[in-house]
Structure 1
Amino acid sequence: MRRDKLGIYLNDHLAGATAGGGLARRVADQHRRSARHGDLERVAEQIEQDRRALLDIMDALGVPVRRYKVCAGWAAERLGRFKPNGQVRRRSGLSSVVELEGLRLGVEGKVLLWRALLAVAEHEERLSAAGLTDLLARARDQADLLETLRVNAAKAVFS
């Protein structure tokens, strides 16, 4: 196994998971009073659990966490908050569409991560194929839910 390349790959995904976790939490908090809150809260919790699972995998493989990449993920999520949305003083429905698209893209990246690790698990006993299969199934469920929420938000904003 090429631990150097795997370490870079996993740390890049950890940066993405850090950004995605912050975005998911923010989106759930911003929809506290909506019918979507329960779903968004559940996705935010699962994304955080998935991030912890990634950290556990990195630990099991002896891959050190690169703090600068974690900080870059954190900063990227914060900077994304400044995207213009067509409103000066309040949130726009467009913000929800773009944020849900960002979450969906992040989850799709996570699907690819779990698939790649499943391929590595064939030759790496420290990886649990069953655990990775569960993570993959959960990511697919998250993607399906986020797609439904994204399409509904787009209909509301653009119709």
Structure 2
Amino acid sequence: MNLELLTTYLNDHRAGATAATDMLERLINENQGEPLGDFATTLLNEIEQDEAELEGLIKRYDAMPGVVKQAVAWAGAKMTTPKIGRTMAGDFGNFQTLEILSIGILGKRALWRMLQSLSDPELLSLDYGRLIERADSQFQQVEQWRLRIGTMAMNSTAAV
């Protein structure tokens, strides 16, 4: 197995998790005391658990943290602020954030499926069935929120 490609792949997904964490923290801050904020808090805890699983794999392969990739992910999340940030407290900004998160969760599911298909003993130590099931559940929940908030946003008379 090409360890350089594997560690690049793992670090790419770590960067995605960093961006997701930042977006969820913004959702939590903008929706404190509301059901969406509570949901985002629960989802953040699950995403952090998934990220810990990923970190464990990266450490097994002695991969140096992708500092540049993590910085790019962080900057990418911040760059969404001008577009999403100006309406972040509103339904449309929440809708956009949920849509980005849903795409990221599908990517994470694809990561777990890919790793499950490889035959390396270090990779086979994770319970991919559980991780895939959790990603499916996360996607379904985010999708429900995305559709609910998106419908409210699209039916709103508020300007963006």
What does residue range 7-156 of structure 1 map to in structure 2 within 5 Å? 7-83=7-83, 91-120=89-118, 123-128=119-124, 130-156=126-152
Question: CA-to-partner distance for each residue in 1:23-81, whole Å, 9 max, x for gaps?
Answer: 11211222112122222211011112211211111111232221111111111111111
Tell me how many residue pairs correspond in the alignment.
Answer: 155
- Return the alpha-carbon distance in structure 1 between the equivalents of residues 84 and 19 of structure 2: 19
Contact 2:30 2:89 in 1 (8 A): no
Relative to the length of structure 1, the TM-score reads: 0.89
Among all aligned residue pairs of Structure 1 and Structure 2, give the percentage whose two residues are the same amino acid: 25
Give structure 1 regions of 4+ aligned residues with deviation exceeding 3 angstroms.
Answer: 84-87
2:16 alignment partner AA: G
In structure 1, how many angstroms separate the alpha carbons of the residues matched to 2:92 and 2:60?
A: 41
Letter paired with 1:101: E
1:63 alignment partner AA: A
Going from structure 1 to structure 2, the CA distance change for 1:57 and 1:130 (only over 3 Å counts) comes to closer
Residue ranges of structure 2 left out of the alignment (5+ in a row): 156-160
Structure 1 segments unaligned to the other structure (5+ residues)? none
CA distance in 2, matches of 1:22, 1:49: 15
SS in 2 for 1:83: helix
TM-score (norm 2): 0.89
CA distance in 2, matches of 1:84, 1:22: 13
Question: SS state of the match for residue 13, structure 2?
Answer: helix
